[in-house]
């Protein structure tokens, strides 16, 4: 199987009527922000794949020594490599991590290993949710999860099995069983407390009138755009948040930290678990033609590094997909309104670990005094010529320009033709954004005007 072609990912609300064209390798990678060119990465993948095919794959394993190497590597360099590997499949990540020819460096292998496990944890999170919602007794739920986990492991290729230890299955089962027992004991021992803190959650977030769970799966319709992110919180989200309110009251934590975290999580749900939000670092320009990129502050980046490398990530009750989304700079730096320090704290608390930061740090809410405390905005030295836009958006309303009509651009009614929340905060001046239509592979230029 040839795994050297990577799958790109982008979102757009525009549809071209032209016939789809084959996706070229160069269009699948954003090579300008990576250390290696697309062709170089493809060649290295091919070389590593050939080397793997020439050895006994069952003898390959993730070297334990890499853990020591990991601590010596620069987190910034590892994160940069992880960003380059964002669109690679699990099979491609396995090829990099287990490369016996040393075509890939230790830094790249660690980045691929970490990216693979983020993907795998997201898959396990889905299995856990499905088992928990299957109903029945605790034994039935446990049996459901064990069966699903067995099927998951049986689907592993020889390389996939080399990415995990022999304790992968037992440890995952024990973690789920422990979480299940904790939920069961809490429910039977303190049902009044559980009911009380759920009511506290509803009162603080919804104003004593809990709405039905809204779905963001079918796109950002006009009605969905007008709804609060809180309305998209799932039942599981709301239950977990109620537990956070109980923890907050018992540890003198300001409720505003939970409400901000709930807003970030709700916004993620509102956009179909982040799938409807593009990456702000892919093709965003200011009116002068400078490419705009966004990153985390030094303080937040340090916290994110600790969160992603810590034990709490694997056992936390907080959705792993949400954590992965909110800790990507092109997606989380602009969109987040909550505290990464509090996110790390609650990830550890819900994982049953001793938090690395005291709860006292969150006794008084500290918001953002300025945009500089939320993210870092960088402009490229190079200036790019800005074309006439195909679509112009203002105050959440988008219209196709004459040029767009000439190019047969139309706007899908349910596809989110509204300014993304991550860009809304930047609209003190016009911004240009290049989006890729995944069906036709055509670039479509949006111009976001200042909001009035």
Q: What single string gives the DSSP state of each residue in 81-99?
A: HHHHTTT--HHHHHHHHT-
CA distance 377 to 426: 10
What does the block give as tokens for 330? Answer: 């092109």
Task: Encode pLDDT of 205-258 as tens digits.
Answer: 999 789 999 888 765 566 677 788 999 999 999 999 999 999 999 999 999 999
357 vs 130: which has the higher pLDDT: 357
What does the block give as tokens for 117? Answer: 């496990």
For residue 16, the cross-strand partners are 409
What does the block give as tokens for 345? Answer: 């704290």
Query: Are 262 and 233 contacting, i.e. CB atoms less than 8 angstroms apart?
Result: yes
User: CB-based burial of residue 154 (10 Å sphere; 0-12 exposed, 13-18 middle, 19+ buried)?
Assistant: exposed
Query: Are 110 and 59 contacting, i.e. CB atoms less than 8 angstroms apart?
Result: no
Among 368, 366, 367, 282, which Cα is nearest to 329's?
282
Tell whether pTM > 0.75: no
Same domain (yes/no): 96, 130: yes
Number of domains in the chain: 2
For residue 446, the cross-strand partners are 391, 433
Q: Does residue 421 lie within any of the structural domains?
A: no
Q: Does residue 28 lie within any of the structural domains?
A: no
Choosing from 349, 379, 409, the residue where a domain stops is: 379
Place of tokens 């799966």: 217
Q: Which domain holds residue 348?
A: 190-379
Same domain (yes/no): 349, 321: yes
Q: What φ, ψ does residue 397 adopt, rounded to 5°? A: -115, 130
- Give the pLDDT band (50/70/90) at residue 16: very low
Same domain (yes/no): 216, 168: no
- Give the pLDDT band (50/70/90) at residue 201: very high
C-alpha count within 13 angstroms, C-beta hemisphere, residue 419 = 22
Among 185, 117, 115, 125, which Cα is nearest to 149's?
125
Choosing from 317, 345, 379, the residue where a domain stops is: 379
Q: How many CB atoms lie within 10 A of CB 10?
A: 18
Q: Does residue 286 lie within any of the structural domains?
A: yes
Same domain (yes/no): 206, 168: no
Q: What percent of the chain has pLDDT over 90?
A: 30
Task: Encode pLDDT of 325-356 as tens digits.
Answer: 999 998 898 889 999 999 999 999 999 999 99
Query: Are 44 and 104 contacting, i.e. CB atoms less than 8 angstroms apart?
Result: yes
CA distance 293 to 34: 13
pLDDT of residue 303 exceeding 70, the answer is yes
Choosing from 379, 406, 427, the residue where a domain stops is: 379
CA distance 161 to 363: 44
CA distance 414 to 167: 45
Same domain (yes/no): 214, 283: yes
Q: Does residue 270 lie within any of the structural domains?
A: yes
Same domain (yes/no): 125, 212: no
Q: Does residue 446 lie within any of the structural domains?
A: no
Place of tokens 């796109």: 219
Task: Encode pLDDT of 110-157 as tens digits.
Answer: 888 888 888 898 898 888 888 877 766 677 788 888 889 999 999 998
What is the helix (H) or strand (E) element at residue 240, kind and residue range?
helix 235-250
Task: Encode pLDDT of 60-97 as tens digits.
Answer: 777 644 544 454 557 777 777 777 787 889 999 999 98
107 vs 191: which has the higher pLDDT: 107
Same domain (yes/no): 165, 201: no
Kindly report which listed range (26-35, 161-170, 196-205, 295-304) carries the lowest average pLDDT score.
Answer: 26-35
Q: Does residue 48 lie within any of the structural domains?
A: yes
Q: What are the DSSP calls for 135-162, one per residue?
A: -S-HHHHHHHHHHHHHHHHHT--HHHHH
Same domain (yes/no): 206, 173: no
Q: How many CB atoms lie within 10 A of CB 203?
A: 14
Query: Are 408 and 18 contacting, i.e. CB atoms less than 8 angstroms apart?
Result: yes
Same domain (yes/no): 202, 288: yes
Same domain (yes/no): 49, 138: yes
Among 329, 330, 327, which Cα is nearest to 341's?
327
CA distance 39 to 45: 10
Query: Are 386 and 432 contacting, i.e. CB atoms less than 8 angstroms apart?
Result: yes
Supply the mean pLDDT for the chain: 78
Based on its alpha-carbon atoms, the radius of gyration of the chain, rounded to whole angstroms, reads 23
Per residue, the 3-state secondary structure of 349-383, as one string, reads HHCCCCCCCCHHHHCCCCCCCCHHHCCEEEEEEEE
Q: How many CB atoms lie within 10 A of CB 55?
A: 12
Same domain (yes/no): 247, 355: yes
Same domain (yes/no): 349, 209: yes
226 vs 265: which has the higher pLDDT: 265
Among 54, 49, 43, which Cα is nearest to 93's?
49
Q: Does residue 321 lie within any of the structural domains?
A: yes
Query: Are 17 and 408 contacting, i.e. CB atoms less than 8 angstroms apart?
Result: yes
pLDDT of residue 3 exceeding 60, the answer is no
Query: Are 107 and 77 contacting, i.e. CB atoms less than 8 angstroms apart?
Result: yes
Q: Does residue 214 lie within any of the structural domains?
A: yes
Q: What average pLDDT does the segment 304-316 reach?
A: 92
């Amino acid at each position: 199987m040839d795994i050297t072609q990577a799958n790109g990912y982008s979102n757009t609300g525009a549809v071209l009527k032209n016939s789809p064209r084959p996706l070229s390798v160069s269009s699948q990678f954003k090579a300008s922000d990576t250390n290696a060119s697309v062709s170089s990465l493809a060649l290295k993948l091919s070389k590593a794949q050939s080397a793997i095919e020439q050895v006994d794959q069952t003898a390959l394993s993730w070297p334990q020594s890499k853990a020591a190497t990991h601590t010596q590597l620069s987190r910034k360099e590892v994160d940069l490599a992880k960003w380059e590997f964002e669109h690679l499949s699990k099979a491609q990540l396995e090829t990099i991590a287990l490369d016996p020819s040393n075509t890939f460096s230790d830094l790249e292998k660690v980045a691929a290993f970490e990216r693979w496990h983020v993907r795998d944890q997201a898959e396990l999170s889905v299995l856990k949710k499905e088992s928990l919602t299957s109903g029945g007794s605790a034994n039935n739920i446990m049996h459901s999860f064990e069966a699903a986990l067995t099927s998951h492991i049986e689907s592993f290729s020889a390389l996939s099995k080399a990415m995990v230890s022999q304790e992968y299955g037992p440890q995952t089962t024990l973690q789920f069983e422990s979480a299940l027992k904790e939920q069961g004991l809490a429910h039977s021992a303190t049902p009044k407390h559980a009911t009380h803190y759920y009511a506290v959650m509803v009162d603080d977030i919804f104003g004593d009138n809990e709405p039905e769970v809204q779905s963001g799966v079918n796109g950002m319709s006009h009605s969905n755009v007008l709804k609060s992110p809180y309305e998209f919180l799932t039942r599981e989200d709301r239950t977990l948040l109620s537990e956070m309110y109980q923890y907050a009251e018992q540890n003198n934590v300001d409720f505003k930290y939970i409400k901000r975290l709930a807003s970030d999580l709700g916004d993620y749900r509102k956009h179909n678990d982040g799938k409807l939000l593009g990456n702000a670092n892919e093709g965003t320009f200011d009116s002068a033609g400078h490419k705009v990129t966004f990153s985390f502050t030094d303080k937040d980046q340090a916290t994110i590094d600790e969160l992603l490398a810590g034990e709490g990530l694997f056992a936390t009750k907080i959705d792993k997909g949400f954590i992965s989304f909110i800790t990507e700079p092109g997606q989380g730096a602009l969109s987040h309104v909550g505290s990464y320090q509090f996110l790390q704290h609650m990830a550890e608390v819900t994982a049953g670990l001793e938090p690395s930061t005291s709860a006292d740090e969150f006794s008084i809410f500290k918001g953002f005094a300025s945009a500089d405390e939320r993210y870092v905005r960088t402009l490229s030295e190079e200036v790019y010529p800005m074309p006439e836009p195909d679509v112009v958006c203002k105050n959440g309303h988008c219209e196709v320009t004459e040029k767009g009509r000439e190019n047969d651009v139309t706007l899908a009614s349910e596809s989110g033709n509204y300014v993304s929340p991550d860009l809304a905060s930047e609209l003190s001046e016009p911004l240009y954004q290049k989006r890729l239509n995944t069906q036709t592979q055509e670039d479509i230029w949006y111009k976001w005007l200042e909001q009035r």
